[in-house]
Structure 1
Protein backbone atom coordinates (compact mmCIF):
# COMPACT_ATOMS: atom_id res chain seq x y z
CA UNK A 1 0.00 0.00 0.00
CA UNK A 2 2.96 2.32 0.64
CA UNK A 3 3.97 2.31 -3.04
CA UNK A 4 0.40 3.06 -4.12
CA UNK A 5 0.11 5.94 -1.65
CA UNK A 6 3.39 7.37 -2.96
CA UNK A 7 2.01 7.06 -6.50
CA UNK A 8 -1.16 8.80 -5.34
CA UNK A 9 0.96 11.60 -3.85
CA UNK A 10 2.84 12.04 -7.14
CA UNK A 11 -0.43 12.23 -9.08
CA UNK A 12 -1.80 14.74 -6.56
CA UNK A 13 1.28 16.95 -6.91
CA UNK A 14 1.07 16.86 -10.71
CA UNK A 15 -2.64 17.68 -10.55
CA UNK A 16 -1.92 20.57 -8.19
CA UNK A 17 0.65 22.00 -10.61
CA UNK A 18 -1.82 21.78 -13.50
CA UNK A 19 -4.49 23.39 -11.31
CA UNK A 20 -2.19 26.31 -10.53
CA UNK A 21 -1.39 26.76 -14.23
CA UNK A 22 -5.11 26.87 -15.02
CA UNK A 23 -5.45 30.01 -12.90
CA UNK A 24 -3.01 31.73 -15.24
CA UNK A 25 -5.00 30.58 -18.27
CA UNK A 26 -8.07 32.29 -16.84
CA UNK A 27 -6.03 35.42 -16.12
CA UNK A 28 -4.75 35.43 -19.71
CA UNK A 29 -8.29 34.96 -21.03
CA UNK A 30 -9.49 37.92 -18.96
CA UNK A 31 -6.65 40.14 -20.23
CA UNK A 32 -7.23 39.17 -23.85
CA UNK A 33 -10.97 39.69 -23.46
CA UNK A 34 -10.48 43.14 -21.94
CA UNK A 35 -7.89 44.12 -24.55
CA UNK A 36 -10.09 42.90 -27.39
CA UNK A 37 -13.12 44.78 -26.05
CA UNK A 38 -11.13 47.99 -25.62
CA UNK A 39 -9.67 47.71 -29.14
CA UNK A 40 -13.13 47.08 -30.64
CA UNK A 41 -14.80 49.99 -28.81
CA UNK A 42 -12.04 52.61 -29.01
CA UNK A 43 -10.21 51.79 -32.24
CA UNK A 44 -12.97 49.91 -34.09
CA UNK A 45 -10.62 47.00 -34.74
CA UNK A 46 -11.00 43.41 -33.74
CA UNK A 47 -9.87 39.94 -34.51
CA UNK A 48 -11.69 36.62 -34.70
CA UNK A 49 -8.46 34.99 -33.59
CA UNK A 50 -8.57 37.02 -30.37
CA UNK A 51 -12.16 35.93 -29.76
CA UNK A 52 -11.31 32.31 -30.43
CA UNK A 53 -8.22 32.30 -28.22
CA UNK A 54 -10.48 33.38 -25.34
CA UNK A 55 -12.69 30.35 -26.01
CA UNK A 56 -9.63 28.10 -26.24
CA UNK A 57 -8.26 29.37 -22.93
CA UNK A 58 -11.60 28.94 -21.20
CA UNK A 59 -11.92 25.42 -22.63
CA UNK A 60 -8.40 24.64 -21.41
CA UNK A 61 -9.19 25.93 -17.92
CA UNK A 62 -12.40 23.90 -17.78
CA UNK A 63 -10.97 20.63 -19.13
CA UNK A 64 -7.57 20.75 -17.45
CA UNK A 65 -9.00 22.03 -14.17
CA UNK A 66 -11.41 19.12 -13.71
CA UNK A 67 -8.75 16.90 -12.12
CA UNK A 68 -7.71 19.63 -9.66
CA UNK A 69 -11.36 20.17 -8.78
CA UNK A 70 -11.66 16.45 -8.04
CA UNK A 71 -8.51 16.55 -5.94
CA UNK A 72 -9.92 19.41 -3.87
CA UNK A 73 -13.34 17.75 -3.54
CA UNK A 74 -14.97 20.56 -5.50
CA UNK A 75 -17.25 18.54 -7.77
CA UNK A 76 -20.98 18.44 -7.12
CA UNK A 77 -22.00 15.75 -4.66
CA UNK A 78 -25.18 14.74 -2.93
CA UNK A 79 -23.78 15.68 0.47
CA UNK A 80 -27.24 15.97 2.02
CA UNK A 81 -27.36 12.17 1.92
CA UNK A 82 -23.70 11.19 1.78
CA UNK A 83 -22.77 13.39 4.75
CA UNK A 84 -25.04 11.30 6.97
CA UNK A 85 -23.37 8.00 6.11
CA UNK A 86 -20.48 6.53 8.09
CA UNK A 87 -17.01 6.99 6.59
CA UNK A 88 -16.83 3.36 5.45
CA UNK A 89 -20.09 3.66 3.47
CA UNK A 90 -18.97 6.95 1.87
CA UNK A 91 -15.66 5.38 0.84
CA UNK A 92 -17.49 2.40 -0.70
CA UNK A 93 -19.86 4.72 -2.58
CA UNK A 94 -16.87 6.69 -3.91
CA UNK A 95 -15.03 3.51 -4.93
CA UNK A 96 -18.07 2.21 -6.84
CA UNK A 97 -18.60 5.62 -8.46
CA UNK A 98 -14.97 5.84 -9.58
CA UNK A 99 -14.71 2.25 -10.87
CA UNK A 100 -18.18 1.88 -12.41
CA UNK A 101 -18.85 5.39 -13.71
CA UNK A 102 -15.91 7.80 -13.75
CA UNK A 103 -13.05 5.67 -15.11
CA UNK A 104 -15.22 4.14 -17.89
CA UNK A 105 -16.45 7.63 -18.82
CA UNK A 106 -12.86 8.89 -19.02
CA UNK A 107 -11.87 5.91 -21.18
CA UNK A 108 -14.86 6.44 -23.49
CA UNK A 109 -14.19 10.17 -23.92
CA UNK A 110 -10.49 9.64 -24.65
CA UNK A 111 -11.26 6.83 -27.10
CA UNK A 112 -13.99 8.91 -28.78
CA UNK A 113 -12.04 12.18 -29.06
CA UNK A 114 -8.54 11.01 -30.06
CA UNK A 115 -9.53 10.19 -33.69
CA UNK A 116 -11.13 13.64 -33.99
CA UNK A 117 -7.94 15.30 -32.75
CA UNK A 118 -5.78 13.25 -35.14
CA UNK A 119 -8.07 13.95 -38.10
CA UNK A 120 -8.03 17.71 -37.36
CA UNK A 121 -4.24 17.65 -36.97
CA UNK A 122 -3.55 15.78 -40.20
CA UNK A 123 -6.03 17.82 -42.24
CA UNK A 124 -4.89 21.13 -40.76
CA UNK A 125 -8.49 22.01 -39.87
CA UNK A 126 -8.98 25.73 -39.32
CA UNK A 127 -11.91 27.68 -37.95
CA UNK A 128 -14.44 28.73 -40.58
CA UNK A 129 -14.30 32.30 -39.23
CA UNK A 130 -12.11 34.75 -41.13
CA UNK A 131 -8.74 34.89 -39.38
CA UNK A 132 -9.73 31.96 -37.16
CA UNK A 133 -7.33 29.57 -35.44
CA UNK A 134 -6.36 25.97 -36.10
CA UNK A 135 -8.74 23.56 -34.38
CA UNK A 136 -6.67 20.58 -33.24
CA UNK A 137 -5.25 22.24 -30.08
CA UNK A 138 -8.72 22.91 -28.69
CA UNK A 139 -9.88 19.43 -29.70
CA UNK A 140 -6.85 17.96 -27.91
CA UNK A 141 -8.04 19.46 -24.64
CA UNK A 142 -10.78 16.83 -24.46
CA UNK A 143 -8.57 13.72 -24.29
CA UNK A 144 -5.97 15.61 -22.24
CA UNK A 145 -8.56 16.74 -19.69
CA UNK A 146 -10.14 13.33 -19.38
CA UNK A 147 -6.69 11.73 -19.19
CA UNK A 148 -5.79 13.96 -16.24
CA UNK A 149 -9.16 13.25 -14.64
CA UNK A 150 -8.57 9.50 -15.06
CA UNK A 151 -5.16 9.78 -13.39
CA UNK A 152 -6.66 11.73 -10.50
CA UNK A 153 -9.43 9.12 -10.28
CA UNK A 154 -6.77 6.44 -9.77
CA UNK A 155 -5.24 8.56 -7.00
CA UNK A 156 -8.63 9.03 -5.33
CA UNK A 157 -9.34 5.31 -5.64
CA UNK A 158 -6.04 4.50 -3.90
CA UNK A 159 -6.90 6.91 -1.07
CA UNK A 160 -10.41 5.48 -0.61
CA UNK A 161 -9.08 1.92 -0.43
CA UNK A 162 -6.32 3.01 1.98
CA UNK A 163 -8.94 4.67 4.18
CA UNK A 164 -11.07 1.51 4.17
CA UNK A 165 -8.02 -0.50 5.21
CA UNK A 166 -7.33 1.96 8.03
CA UNK A 167 -3.97 3.07 6.61
CA UNK A 168 -4.94 6.74 6.29
CA UNK A 169 -7.69 8.88 7.81
CA UNK A 170 -10.76 9.95 5.85
CA UNK A 171 -9.32 11.85 2.85
CA UNK A 172 -12.46 14.02 2.64
CA UNK A 173 -12.61 14.98 6.32
CA UNK A 174 -10.47 18.13 6.04
CA UNK A 175 -12.04 19.21 2.75
CA UNK A 176 -8.68 18.63 1.07
CA UNK A 177 -6.53 15.58 0.66
CA UNK A 178 -3.48 16.59 2.68
CA UNK A 179 -4.32 14.02 5.35
CA UNK A 180 -4.05 11.24 2.79
CA UNK A 181 -0.39 12.02 2.19
CA UNK A 182 0.47 11.08 5.76
CA UNK A 183 0.33 7.37 6.44
CA UNK A 184 -1.43 6.75 9.75
CA UNK A 185 -0.82 3.68 11.90
CA UNK A 186 -3.23 0.84 11.27
CA UNK A 187 -5.81 0.58 14.09
CA UNK A 188 -5.72 -2.62 16.10
CA UNK A 189 -9.42 -3.31 15.67
CA UNK A 190 -11.12 -2.15 12.50
CA UNK A 191 -14.49 -3.43 13.68
CA UNK A 192 -14.64 -1.28 16.80
CA UNK A 193 -18.06 0.08 15.83
CA UNK A 194 -16.57 3.49 15.08
CA UNK A 195 -17.22 5.71 12.13
CA UNK A 196 -15.02 3.79 9.70
Structure 2
Protein backbone atom coordinates (compact mmCIF):
# COMPACT_ATOMS: atom_id res chain seq x y z
CA UNK A 1 0.00 0.00 0.00
CA UNK A 2 2.91 2.35 0.70
CA UNK A 3 4.06 2.12 -2.93
CA UNK A 4 0.54 3.01 -4.11
CA UNK A 5 0.40 5.92 -1.68
CA UNK A 6 3.75 7.11 -3.07
CA UNK A 7 2.30 6.98 -6.59
CA UNK A 8 -0.73 8.95 -5.34
CA UNK A 9 1.66 11.51 -3.82
CA UNK A 10 3.48 11.90 -7.18
CA UNK A 11 0.17 12.35 -9.01
CA UNK A 12 -0.97 14.89 -6.39
CA UNK A 13 2.34 16.75 -6.75
CA UNK A 14 2.00 16.86 -10.54
CA UNK A 15 -1.56 18.20 -10.41
CA UNK A 16 -0.66 20.65 -7.64
CA UNK A 17 2.17 22.02 -9.79
CA UNK A 18 -0.05 22.29 -12.88
CA UNK A 19 -2.84 23.87 -10.82
CA UNK A 20 -0.50 26.51 -9.40
CA UNK A 21 0.80 27.32 -12.87
CA UNK A 22 -2.80 27.68 -13.96
CA UNK A 23 -3.21 30.48 -11.41
CA UNK A 24 -0.92 32.58 -13.56
CA UNK A 25 -2.98 31.90 -16.66
CA UNK A 26 -5.81 33.73 -14.91
CA UNK A 27 -3.76 36.90 -14.69
CA UNK A 28 -2.63 36.61 -18.30
CA UNK A 29 -6.20 35.96 -19.44
CA UNK A 30 -7.51 39.00 -17.56
CA UNK A 31 -4.67 41.11 -18.99
CA UNK A 32 -5.42 40.02 -22.55
CA UNK A 33 -9.14 40.60 -21.99
CA UNK A 34 -8.51 44.07 -20.61
CA UNK A 35 -6.28 44.87 -23.58
CA UNK A 36 -8.96 43.64 -26.00
CA UNK A 37 -11.48 46.05 -24.48
CA UNK A 38 -9.12 48.99 -24.06
CA UNK A 39 -7.50 48.41 -27.45
CA UNK A 40 -10.87 48.50 -29.16
CA UNK A 41 -11.84 51.86 -27.65
CA UNK A 42 -8.40 53.46 -27.79
CA UNK A 43 -8.03 52.18 -31.35
CA UNK A 44 -11.32 53.78 -32.35
CA UNK A 45 -10.13 57.04 -30.83
CA UNK A 46 -6.84 57.12 -32.71
CA UNK A 47 -8.07 55.44 -35.88
CA UNK A 48 -5.82 52.41 -35.46
CA UNK A 49 -6.85 48.78 -34.86
CA UNK A 50 -5.20 47.74 -31.57
CA UNK A 51 -7.02 44.45 -31.17
CA UNK A 52 -7.36 41.40 -33.38
CA UNK A 53 -9.14 38.11 -33.77
CA UNK A 54 -5.93 36.41 -32.65
CA UNK A 55 -5.98 38.31 -29.34
CA UNK A 56 -9.63 37.46 -28.82
CA UNK A 57 -8.92 33.80 -29.52
CA UNK A 58 -5.89 33.86 -27.19
CA UNK A 59 -8.26 35.00 -24.46
CA UNK A 60 -10.60 32.10 -25.25
CA UNK A 61 -7.70 29.63 -25.33
CA UNK A 62 -6.41 30.87 -21.98
CA UNK A 63 -9.88 30.39 -20.50
CA UNK A 64 -9.97 26.87 -21.99
CA UNK A 65 -6.60 26.05 -20.44
CA UNK A 66 -7.64 27.54 -17.12
CA UNK A 67 -10.79 25.44 -17.02
CA UNK A 68 -9.25 22.24 -18.39
CA UNK A 69 -6.00 22.23 -16.42
CA UNK A 70 -7.73 23.40 -13.26
CA UNK A 71 -10.09 20.40 -13.23
CA UNK A 72 -7.64 17.85 -11.79
CA UNK A 73 -6.33 20.42 -9.30
CA UNK A 74 -9.88 21.11 -8.17
CA UNK A 75 -10.55 17.38 -7.79
CA UNK A 76 -7.36 16.99 -5.77
CA UNK A 77 -8.57 19.66 -3.34
CA UNK A 78 -12.14 18.24 -3.28
CA UNK A 79 -13.54 21.59 -4.39
CA UNK A 80 -15.93 20.47 -7.12
CA UNK A 81 -19.52 21.54 -6.60
CA UNK A 82 -21.50 18.93 -4.69
CA UNK A 83 -25.05 18.64 -3.54
CA UNK A 84 -24.50 16.24 -0.67
CA UNK A 85 -27.10 16.36 2.03
CA UNK A 86 -25.76 13.32 3.84
CA UNK A 87 -22.00 13.56 3.40
CA UNK A 88 -21.54 16.12 6.15
CA UNK A 89 -22.78 13.43 8.57
CA UNK A 90 -20.52 10.68 7.20
CA UNK A 91 -17.47 9.36 8.97
CA UNK A 92 -14.18 9.45 7.04
CA UNK A 93 -14.62 5.77 6.10
CA UNK A 94 -18.17 6.29 4.87
CA UNK A 95 -17.00 9.28 2.83
CA UNK A 96 -14.14 7.17 1.42
CA UNK A 97 -16.62 4.50 0.28
CA UNK A 98 -18.84 7.05 -1.47
CA UNK A 99 -15.88 8.81 -3.08
CA UNK A 100 -14.31 5.51 -4.17
CA UNK A 101 -17.57 4.34 -5.75
CA UNK A 102 -18.06 7.69 -7.47
CA UNK A 103 -14.51 7.61 -8.82
CA UNK A 104 -14.65 4.00 -10.05
CA UNK A 105 -18.21 4.03 -11.38
CA UNK A 106 -18.47 7.55 -12.80
CA UNK A 107 -15.27 9.63 -12.97
CA UNK A 108 -12.86 7.10 -14.49
CA UNK A 109 -15.31 5.66 -17.07
CA UNK A 110 -16.46 9.15 -18.11
CA UNK A 111 -12.91 10.48 -18.51
CA UNK A 112 -11.85 7.35 -20.39
CA UNK A 113 -14.82 7.72 -22.75
CA UNK A 114 -13.92 11.36 -23.42
CA UNK A 115 -10.31 10.40 -24.24
CA UNK A 116 -11.37 7.50 -26.49
CA UNK A 117 -14.13 9.35 -28.34
CA UNK A 118 -12.27 12.65 -28.76
CA UNK A 119 -9.05 11.04 -29.97
CA UNK A 120 -10.18 10.77 -33.61
CA UNK A 121 -11.42 14.36 -33.84
CA UNK A 122 -8.23 15.69 -32.26
CA UNK A 123 -6.00 13.53 -34.48
CA UNK A 124 -7.95 14.75 -37.52
CA UNK A 125 -7.51 18.34 -36.36
CA UNK A 126 -3.73 17.80 -36.21
CA UNK A 127 -3.73 16.00 -39.57
CA UNK A 128 -5.38 18.88 -41.38
CA UNK A 129 -3.70 21.54 -39.19
CA UNK A 130 -7.13 22.98 -38.40
CA UNK A 131 -7.24 26.76 -38.27
CA UNK A 132 -9.79 29.20 -36.95
CA UNK A 133 -12.29 30.24 -39.61
CA UNK A 134 -11.90 33.86 -38.50
CA UNK A 135 -9.45 36.12 -40.38
CA UNK A 136 -6.18 36.28 -38.46
CA UNK A 137 -7.34 33.47 -36.18
CA UNK A 138 -5.17 30.91 -34.45
CA UNK A 139 -4.60 27.20 -35.06
CA UNK A 140 -7.24 25.05 -33.36
CA UNK A 141 -5.35 21.75 -33.15
CA UNK A 142 -3.08 22.63 -30.19
CA UNK A 143 -5.96 23.79 -27.98
CA UNK A 144 -7.98 20.70 -28.88
CA UNK A 145 -5.07 18.61 -27.57
CA UNK A 146 -5.60 20.23 -24.17
CA UNK A 147 -8.82 18.21 -23.95
CA UNK A 148 -6.82 14.97 -23.96
CA UNK A 149 -4.31 16.32 -21.46
CA UNK A 150 -7.09 17.50 -19.15
CA UNK A 151 -8.90 14.19 -19.07
CA UNK A 152 -5.67 12.22 -18.71
CA UNK A 153 -4.80 14.41 -15.71
CA UNK A 154 -8.30 13.80 -14.33
CA UNK A 155 -7.83 10.04 -14.79
CA UNK A 156 -4.52 10.22 -12.92
CA UNK A 157 -6.07 12.28 -10.13
CA UNK A 158 -9.00 9.85 -9.97
CA UNK A 159 -6.51 7.00 -9.53
CA UNK A 160 -4.79 8.99 -6.78
CA UNK A 161 -8.10 9.64 -5.06
CA UNK A 162 -9.05 5.95 -5.32
CA UNK A 163 -5.72 4.89 -3.80
CA UNK A 164 -6.16 7.29 -0.90
CA UNK A 165 -9.76 6.17 -0.32
CA UNK A 166 -8.71 2.51 -0.30
CA UNK A 167 -5.94 3.41 2.15
CA UNK A 168 -8.50 5.10 4.41
CA UNK A 169 -10.70 1.99 4.27
CA UNK A 170 -7.79 -0.34 5.07
CA UNK A 171 -6.50 1.93 7.84
CA UNK A 172 -3.19 2.62 6.06
CA UNK A 173 -3.86 6.35 5.79
CA UNK A 174 -5.98 8.82 7.66
CA UNK A 175 -7.74 11.41 5.57
CA UNK A 176 -7.70 14.94 6.91
CA UNK A 177 -10.80 15.62 8.99
CA UNK A 178 -12.87 18.56 7.81
CA UNK A 179 -14.50 20.90 10.31
CA UNK A 180 -17.82 19.46 11.46
CA UNK A 181 -16.96 15.97 10.18
CA UNK A 182 -17.05 13.04 12.60
CA UNK A 183 -13.91 11.04 13.30
CA UNK A 184 -13.55 7.47 12.08
Q: Which residue of 2 aligns with 1:90?
A: 95
1:123-173, Cα deviation, whole Å (9 max, x unpaired): 0111111111110112111111111011000000010000111111124x2
**What is the CA RMSD across the aligned residues, in angstroms?**
1.5
TM-score normalised to structure 2 length:
0.91
Q: After the TM superposition, which segments of 4 or more aligned residues of structure 1 sit over 4 Å from their partners?
A: none
1:132-143 map, 5 Å: 132-143=137-148
The count of corresponding residues between Structure 1 and Structure 2 is 177
In the TM superposition, residue 195 of structure 1 has moved relative to its aligned partner by 4.7
Q: Which has the higher contact order (CA 8 A, sep 6+)?
A: 2
Are 2:34 and 1:39 equivalent residues in the alignment?
A: no
Name 2:84's counterpart in structure 1.
Answer: 79
In structure 2, the gaps of 5 or more residues are none
The reply to whether residue 57 of structure 1 matches residue 75 of structure 2 is: no
Match of 1:170 among 158, 175, 179: 175
Aligned 8 A contact 1:18 1:68 in 2: yes
Q: In 2, distance between residues paired with 1:93 and 1:174?
A: 16
Preserved contact between residue 125 and residue 134 of structure 1 (Cα < 8 Å): yes
1-structure distance, mates of 2:78, 2:171: 20
> Whole-Å Cα distance in 1 between the matches of residues 19 and 91 of structure 2?
30
CA distance in 1, matches of 2:124, 2:72: 26
Q: CA deviation at 1:79?
A: 3.4
